[in-house]
Amino acid sequence: MNTANTVFLIIAAVLVLMMTPGLAFFYGGLVSKKNVVNTMISVFIICALAIVLFVAFGYELCFNGNVAGIFGRVQHIFLSGSDLTKVVLKEQGITAASYLLFEMMFSIITPALFVGATVGRMRFNFLLVFVFFWSVLVYYPLVHMVWGTGGLLAGWGILDFAGGTVVHINAGITALVLSIFLGPRYQKQTRPYSLPWVLLGTAILWLGWYGFNAGSAFGMNQTALTACLTSTVAAAASMMTWLLLEETFSGKASLDGICTGTLCGLVGITPGAGYETCAGALFTGILCSLASYFFISQVKGRLSFDDPLDAFGCHGISGIVGSLTVGLFASQKVDPGISTSGLFYGGSWELLGKQAAGTLFTIVFTLLMVSLITAVLKRFVNMRVSARDEEVGLDLSEHGEFADCQISASQAIFGK
């Protein structure tokens, strides 16, 4: 075991864990005051559920052996009898225990992302059951296909440094499907509960993203430094792009907007953080911000689905763009280990084609599996709260709590 790299990975894992409560603040600040508690608990409870599932069998479904390039083999329930001292990444000196800990954090933040599409109208019990089946049938297979030994998409040669397909496209498409199944809100309330919470959540997420991206180098090395630098540049470029777009088209910059723009850049650079130059990261951030901004402001309103916090518009759209830009900006000078450079760094169309194929596969696979899970599950578990519960707010109807002590039950019910 390499002690320095292990300490680095543990710190990275803690940073990734911080992202989930950070996301709870981000989403909780954006929703209406009668759905704050429900939104935050829906995000935070996944910390417990995902950890138990990952230790029970998720880790082995992702990384133990290979079955048809889609699953691993479950041989040790709750890791009983598993050798956690075994070095699984020999070059970096990383043992199974530290590798498991780091990958576990990804299994937490990914399902938490799509909660933004369901706020104010999904039953809490349905969410818990859905996350269970989604983890087993969607997330774990995608992890194995992209990062597992013998994985299907890995065999195609696609590059996904830290989760563009596995995390962001996956969560974005899941958000889209769930919002379609749920249908639109009866009353669309757009006034956010707390913009300071939104900024706080964004800051925590940005900080955690260094663990997310740099940690995916699995050691204190040049690749980790590259991922730190490209993540910073992409976030800044995307934030500035969103600011300029708002100033141009609406005449006013918004805190909500620049926070969303920041996250779009971080989402977009995730698949190429260890492969791209700073210039590539700059253009990745710009392109992701442009794509997500115009989708949210121009396209979303013309479609029938209701994604209140733009989980698809941010993670889905920027995730797709970011995955494709790896085929443009990846460079063998940055990472000599990749098979070919992107189109703008002396490579051919080969890598862009592989990225497009992997992106399309992820979209179709997630779309079909999430649709199947949701269609079957809603036959046994009520998916949507009643119109009365939605009017009252899920804080009261689902949890009997309020984010603001000055809000009483009568105020929530009668709007006084």
| DSSP letter string, 283-301 | HHHHHHHHHHHHIIIIIGG
Q: Is the pLDDT of residue 415 over 80?
A: no
Q: Is the pLDDT of residue 276 over 70?
A: yes
pLDDT value of residue 413: 54
- C-alpha distance from residue 391 to each of 32, 57, 183 (Å): 11, 39, 15
Q: What is the mean pLDDT of residues 307-334?
A: 97
pLDDT value of residue 411: 55
Q: What is the mean pLDDT of residues 264-279?
A: 97
Q: Which of 266, 258, 240 is nearest to 164 (CA)?
A: 266
Residues 145, 63 contacting (CB under 8 angstroms): no
pLDDT 10s digits, 379-392:
999 999 999 999 99
The C-alpha atoms of residue 8 and residue 214 are separated, in whole angstroms, by: 10
Nearest 10 degrees: Cα torsion 82, 83, 88, 90: -170
pLDDT value of residue 416: 44
The C-alpha atoms of residue 109 and residue 100 are separated, in whole angstroms, by: 15
191 confidence band (pLDDT: 50, 70, 90): confident
pLDDT value of residue 98: 97
Whole-model pTM? 0.95
Q: Is the pLDDT of residue 321 over 60?
A: yes
State the average pLDDT for the chain: 95
Q: Is the pLDDT of residue 406 over 80?
A: no
The C-alpha atoms of residue 303 and residue 259 are separated, in whole angstroms, by: 24
Q: Is the pLDDT of residue 246 over 70?
A: yes
409 confidence band (pLDDT: 50, 70, 90): low
pLDDT value of residue 405: 65
Q: Is the pLDDT of residue 410 over 70?
A: no
Q: Which of 242, 240, 213, 216 is nearest to 229 (CA)?
A: 213
Q: Is the pLDDT of residue 253 over 60?
A: yes
Q: Is the pLDDT of residue 131 over 60?
A: yes
How far separated are the first and last CA of the chain, in Å rounded? Answer: 62
pLDDT value of residue 412: 53
pLDDT value of residue 400: 92
